[in-house]
A and B are shown apart, each in its own frame.
Chain A
Amino acid sequence: MLSPIEPEVLLTAGIDVGSSAIKVAVLREAAADGARILAARCERIRRREPANVAEAILRETLAAAGVALDELAYVATTGEGEIIKRRTGHFYGMTAHARGGLFLDPEARAIIDIGALYARAVLMDERAKVLSHRMSSQCASGSGQFLENISRYLGVALAEIGPLSLQADRPEQCSSICAVLAETDVINMVSRGISIPNILKGIHQSMAGRYLRLLASTGARGVVLVTGGLAADRGLLSALREAATEQGSPVEIRSHENSVLAGALGAALWGAFRVRKLAGKGIALGAGGQR
């Protein structure tokens, strides 16, 4: 068992409380060979008390990692994680996603975090320091929640959205401005007999256009990692890449199998960073990350 006070090796946990899902990651971070994921979980909240869900997932993830709570050098939260009482510290969402994005793809110099309620483009440097950022407007049409609503109207499971979108042959254009108009568009498309793959692809294209505009407004260039819940939507990723090519955008869109965990990973990594930074000032955190 590793000791939390051993400076060479640190065990940290990151908890990302989103509006629809909670993600937890437990990391082993070593000064010599970097960080690796010991265990991670993502679970939808489904109308339960988020703080209780987070506690339960943290316990499960720690058990899977073979780590006891008091071995953690830092419990870092992000997203709505201020509700977690046992946290050592909280990091703002884009700070955490930037760090998590860099961990998952060291070549990334920007991320686009697409969550249930909004999307956020973040430009960063090689240390994951945030240089600029832009968020989607208050309209829900650029969010995962919107896509979830549409899938419900169409009777399609969330996991099917991406594969179906990839089957489209004649995508139908959809309003990119307003969720209400977009939903009306979808109802019209259904009544006009447009196939579900073409409807979904049209929505993906509409969302992709918005995300590219967000990225362009930050000045992003080069590798952009998609993070957040929608990073797993292959249809959306395909639409983003196609749109980037068509528009001659200077970005290369990438995703990672753990993209959904980027916030939790970034928080855990910043936690380890803080432990080392505080240690440099002679401040030690106690068992379980207590300062």
Chain B
Amino acid sequence: MNSKDAEELLERAEALYRDHRLQSVREWKRRSGGLAVGYLPIYIPRELLHAQGVLPVGLMGGGDDLEVIRGDSYYQSYICHLPRSTLELGLNGSLDCLDGMIFPAICDVIRNMSGMWKMLFPDKLVRYLDLPQNFDREIGGKFYRRQLEELSQDMVALGARPLEEESLRRSMAIYNENRRLVRELWELRREEPWKVPASEFYLILRAGLVLAVEEHSRMLENYRMHVHADPGRKPMDQARVLVTGCFCEQPPLGFIKTLERAGCYIVEDDLVQIHRWFHRDIPLEGDPLENCIAAFLEDAVASPTRYIGDQEKGRELVERARRSGAEGVLFCAPSFCDPALLDQPMLVAAVEKAGIQWTGFKYTENLGQFQVIREQAGTFADSIRLWSGV
């Protein structure tokens, strides 16, 4: 892959990121004649939809280049920005190529939004996917199985093919491969962060929300080949940081670039977290649906949207920081994000106890002024590089 190909790959990824009208999804539907169903952050079992021939389309709000006019009228000022822009996209027809919408259990705002969507778009399938908060297979597992079976039946009612074991197993293998490619690039970023800038990798991950998984895996492979071959990716003396809190509403691309330019290597984060929801591959042997359920219950990341007591989340964050060699933690939460901000004091306490430096920002997806972020991140990076261990 030469540098022109790589440039084109990144341009395509950015075009997909900015394409609110989902042109690539429309083309996929034209080509395949299949169904496309949207989902909100942060997790749905995409393997299931894939096995039934449905394209799962991840929606992460309107970013920083969408003017929200009607969406604002549905929410009070103390509600985060993502539901406003998502509603705006629905109301302005950008999402009309989607045959349905799945609202996973993130927070009350998104749960209520599923009800609003039903009223606003009565002709479309709307499903609130209630993810279990009890991780016992006998309790949460049975509950989750019912949820998935109902989801699968919803797809059939839309016109998708029924869920079959073998096709689910094949889809799980395809998604395992996709997640493995993501993990490899993540590992490379930890080892040599200058080779995989967060701002580039973020676009590649965002592309995976709208492309068919097979095409996204090819994109990941091509990107990996390029970063290995590109001699222009030279290391700099930057502070290694872990960015956490941005699992649902995403910061604008300029925010990520600002952190990097201010002297930070982002070696770990929870952006577009669905690509790294599981620590390991989902096993293919045995009952594939049961394996998907077990993976969700027992191998998922410690997301703020999951109820995990006994300070486990703090321990996992510190472990992630240590594993990635992060010298500092940036708590970056969207304004008014209850799950992120409610977890934050507990996480800060764990980070402080572990002797790791930290600082915090808040953002909205349409943030346009980065000077304050630049100053804060710049001084944080300086303080790590100059004064840590002194």
A273 and B236 contact, Cβ closer than 8 Å, known pairs A92-B263, A92-B379: no
Kindly supply a per-residue 1/0 record for chain B positions 251-294, scoring 1 wherever the CB is within 8 Å of any chain A CB and 0 otherwise.
Answer: 00000000001110000000000000000000000000000000
CB of A40 to closest CB in B, whole Å: 22
Assess whether B237 is interfacial by the CB under 8 Å rule.
Answer: yes
Residues of B contacting A270 in the complex (Cβ-Cβ under 8 angstroms): 382, 386
- Tell me how many residues of A have a C-beta within 8 Å of chain B: 22
Which parts of B374-390 form the interface with A (CB within 8 Å)? 375, 378-379, 381-382, 385-387
Q: Does B235 contact A91, Cβ atoms closer than 8 Å? A: no
Residues of A contacting B261 in the complex (Cβ-Cβ under 8 angstroms): 82, 90
Assess whether A158 is interfacial by the CB under 8 Å rule.
Answer: no
How extensive is the interface on chain B, given as a class?
10 to 19
Q: Does A274 contact B263, Cβ atoms closer than 8 Å? A: no
Assess whether A130 is interfacial by the CB under 8 Å rule.
Answer: yes
Assess whether A291 is interfacial by the CB under 8 Å rule.
Answer: yes
Assess whether B199 is interfacial by the CB under 8 Å rule.
Answer: no
Interface secondary structure of A, over-half rule: mixed
Q: Does A291 contact B386, Cβ atoms closer than 8 Å? A: no
Residues of A contacting B385 in the complex (Cβ-Cβ under 8 angstroms): 89, 274, 277
A291 and B235 contact, Cβ closer than 8 Å, known pairs A94-B379, A129-B387, A130-B379: yes
Question: In the complex, A256→B375 CA distance in Å?
Answer: 27
Assess whether A61 is interfacial by the CB under 8 Å rule.
Answer: no
Of B234, B263, B387, the residue contacting A90 (CB under 8 A) is: B263
Of B237, B378, B382, the residue contacting A285 (CB under 8 A) is: B237
Kindly supply a per-residue 1/0 record for chain A positions 54-75, scoring 1 wherever the CB is within 8 Å of any chain B CB and 0 otherwise.
Answer: 0000000000000000000010
Question: In the complex, A82→B378 CA distance in Å?
Answer: 11
Which parts of A74-104 form the interface with B (CB within 8 Å)? 74, 82, 87-95
Assess whether B153 is interfacial by the CB under 8 Å rule.
Answer: no
A290 and B382 contact, Cβ closer than 8 Å, known pairs A82-B261, A92-B263: no
CB of B361 to closest CB in A, whole Å: 15
Q: Does B237 contact A88, Cβ atoms closer than 8 Å? A: yes
Chain A's closest residue to B389 (CB) is A277
Q: Does B375 contact A291, Cβ atoms closer than 8 Å? A: no
Residues of A contacting B263 in the complex (Cβ-Cβ under 8 angstroms): 89-92
CB of B385 to closest CB in A, whole Å: 6
Kindly supply a per-residue 1/0 record for chain B positions 225-237, scoring 1 wherever the CB is within 8 Å of any chain A CB and 0 otherwise.
Answer: 0000000001111
Residues of A contacting B379 in the complex (Cβ-Cβ under 8 angstroms): 92, 94-95, 130
CB of A281 to closest CB in B, whole Å: 9
Residues of B contacting A95 in the complex (Cβ-Cβ under 8 angstroms): 378-379, 382, 386
Question: In the complex, A74→B236 CA distance in Å?
Answer: 10
CB of A271 to closest CB in B, whole Å: 8
Assess whether B238 is interfacial by the CB under 8 Å rule.
Answer: yes
Of A88, A92, A273, the residue contacting B381 (CB under 8 A) is: A92
> Which of B262, B381, B382, B387 has most chain A Cβ within 10 Å?
B382
Residues of B contacting A291 in the complex (Cβ-Cβ under 8 angstroms): 235-237
Which parts of B332-381 form the interface with A (CB within 8 Å)? 375, 378-379, 381
Kindly supply a per-residue 1/0 record for chain B positions 79-103, scoring 1 wherever the CB is within 8 Å of any chain A CB and 0 otherwise.
Answer: 0000000000000000000000000
Question: In the complex, A291→B233 CA distance in Å?
Answer: 12
Q: Does A89 contact B387, Cβ atoms closer than 8 Å? A: no
Assess whether A278 is interfacial by the CB under 8 Å rule.
Answer: yes
CB of A65 to closest CB in B, whole Å: 21
Residues of A contacting B236 in the complex (Cβ-Cβ under 8 angstroms): 87-90, 291
Which parts of B301-334 form the interface with A (CB within 8 Å)? none
Which parts of A257-291 form the interface with B (CB within 8 Å)? 270, 273-274, 277-278, 285, 289-291
Which parts of B234-254 form the interface with A (CB within 8 Å)? 234-238
Q: Does B382 contact A274, Cβ atoms closer than 8 Å? A: no
Taking A90-B262, A90-B378, A274-B386 as known contacts, 14 extra A-B pairs with beta carbons closer than 8 A to each other, sorted by chain A number, are A74-B237, A89-B236, A90-B261, A91-B263, A91-B382, A93-B378, A94-B379, A95-B378, A130-B379, A273-B386, A274-B385, A278-B237, A290-B234, A291-B235
10 contacts between A and B (CB under 8 A): A74-B237, A88-B236, A90-B238, A92-B263, A93-B378, A94-B379, A129-B387, A274-B237, A277-B385, A289-B237
Lowest 8 CB-CB distances: which A-B pairs, in order?
A: A89-B237, A92-B378, A291-B235, A82-B261, A95-B382, A90-B263, A88-B237, A92-B382
